[in-house]
Amino acid sequence: MIKTINYLFVTCLGLGSFRFAPGTITSLITTIFLYSLFHIINLSNTIILLILFLVFIYSFYAVSEYIKHNKDKDPKEIVVDEFIGQSIPIYLYEVAHGTSKGPQESMLFYLYIFILFRYFDIKKPFPVSFFDKKFKNSFGVIIDDVVAGLYVVLTLIIFMVIKSKFF
């Protein structure tokens, strides 16, 4: 039973089983899911943070159990790390901007966040590549995507500072 639950968790309800681009598909579904929570359901930031925090904490156990008897320590079907990495910049964007934005502006930034996250997750600039190569365990599987998400946040901050200074 717990093995099935962990499988569904680490594959984000089976999204990781997609043959083509499971990480990209999961990132896209995560973007749509979070947009729905923030803008359609209007769930509070605190409840969303609690959900994301619980996913983050449980993912270390679930991924560890999933890869325990697996030769590949970062199999492509594990996509909960994409969910976590994609969630970080979206959540921080929403908290930073509160209600001072319209749905079209949010959609545009969600698109930027999605594209930037996929770029950093695929290209793996340092230190994303360091965590990806150095740690062949649940920590490495998850943290490289966390760092990719933080790169997105840093990129958006730089963009907004440049925009406010020069435009």
How many independent structural domains does the chain possess?
1
Range of the domain at 85: 2-166
Distance in angstroms (rounded) separating the CA atoms of residues 157 and 59:
28
**DSSP state for residue 41 in the 8-state scheme:** S
Statement: residue 102 has pLDDT above 80: no
What pLDDT, on the 0 to 100 scale, is given for residue 147? 97
Q: Is residue 144 within 8 Å of residue 81, measured between CB atoms?
A: yes
| Mean pLDDT, rounded, for 15-37 | 95
Residue 132's pLDDT band (boundaries 50, 70, 90)?
Answer: confident
Statement: residue 164 has pLDDT above 90: no
Structure tokens given for 55: 């996913």
Q: Mean pLDDT over all residues of the chain?
A: 92
| Mean pLDDT, rounded, for 7-19 | 94
Residue written as token pair 């943070």: 49
